[in-house]
Amino acid sequence: MAAESTPRRRAVLGAAVAGASAATLLPAARANAATSAASAASAAGGRPSPLPVPTVIAHRGASGYRPEHTLGAYQLALDMGADIIEQDLVPTKDGHLVCRHENDITGTTDVADHPEFAGRRTTKTVDGQQLTGWFTEDFTLAELRTLRATERIPAQRPNNTLYNGRWTVPSFEEVLRWAADAARRRGRPVWLYPETKHPTYFRELGLGLEQPLARLLRRFGLHGADAPVFLQSFEPTSMQRMSRLVDTPRVVLLSSLTSQPWDFKVSGDPRTVADLITPEGLREIAGYAHGIGPTLDLVIPRRSDGTLGTPTTLVADAHAEDLVVHPYTLRNENSFLPAEFRTGTDPNRYGDVFGAIGTFFEQGIDGVFADQPDTALLAAADFRASRD
């Protein structure tokens, strides 16, 4: 796909960024008019209405309230009004894509309670990190379906443990069917944001993620440039591969400045994230992707005391290349917030989330990943109202 033909920020956000300000929101009446005439096509993955800016992306579903990557977390996020719902994809032994943040399912399922799988516990090295536990690539989809999902961080989110065991591990195909059903009921598409996890690692195991993902997108009619889907990966070459398979919008995720994408490390490419966020690096990304997903710290770094420092030029530089900017991750708990926005000393108490995210919205970001999408939606509405 030629770089010059790749539609990027304005194309994927549509009228929401058509004006001079990136903080505009397409009025509901116009959004409904844009979709009413083609609601059937939209339900099947047709052209969606433009996204509001800032866009709220439900991080692993409403993971602040339900065990992550379950249909319960996805449905709650949709009910709250999240603009997009995220899925992380890893493969099973028989090549199905399932929704887990990691292939290590030790802390997100009840696999340890299944004596029939005790012998599957093993030690592996995934992207240079040694892990001991149970891994999706050692289970068939049928076997994974016998497990139940659990809360990943129960010490920080004890209320979520109420829902332990309620839901299974969903396949991405199951999520696509759920989204299509919800779209038909709503009369407008459900936006999704799947991520290819550890694609180089899985490719080396003969379980490449890109081809199966492309096949599913094509089967559900979500392979076009106007599909209500963003694809994402921390490995740039995974999005390059996807660009040759489908026209679905793509985003390159960016970790800390000194980190190096695993595919770069394996191939001997010496560049780090610091190189990718230069104007030259962003220009290269714009040749095969539509946006970037940086950590919030790449937008506004934190000082040594945990407070926010001086904003970088990343948002402006990315917008100059017509790239969408969707940073991660907004969480309500004190332990995740910049120091000046924390309330009290309890790390699990909610802090001044509105103040924190408002500061990031002021930098012109196009959206944010959030564990508690209802909070982020209120913050986005406040921000847009302040710009009216």
The two three-digit tokens of residue 237, written as one number: 């070459």
- Nearest to 86, CA basis, from 163, 169, 195, 196: 195
CA atoms within 13 A of residue 216's CA, in its CB half-sphere: 20
Residue 59 bears catalytic tag: yes
Dist. CA 386–CA 388, nearest whole Å = 6
Contact partners, residue 52, CB within 8 Å, separation at least 6: 16, 25, 26, 83, 380, 384
Q: Which two tokens stand for residue 3?
A: 């770089």
Cβ 302 vs Cβ 20: under 8 Å: no
Q: For residue 210, what are its two tokens?
A: 């890109």
* Longest CA–CA separation in the chain, Å: 60
Rounded Cα distance, 214 and 248, in Å: 9
Helices (H) then strands (E): counts for the chain: 16, 11
Residues 6+ apart with CB under 8 A from 270: 264
Buried b (16+ CB within 10 A) or exposed e, 48-70: bbbbbbbbbbbbbbbbbbbbbbb
Strands (E), 136-270: 191-196, 231-233, 250-254
Q: Rounded to 5 degrees, what are φ and ψ at 384? A: -65, -40
Q: Strand 129-133 and strand 122-126: pairing?
A: antiparallel
Contacts (Cβ under 8 Å, ≥6 apart) of 119? none
Instruction: Check residue 109 and report its DSSP letter.
Output: B
From the list 69, 96, 101, 319, the catalytic residue is 101
Beta-carbon-side half-sphere exposure of residue 194 (alpha carbons within 13 Å): 30
Annotated catalytic residues are 59, 101
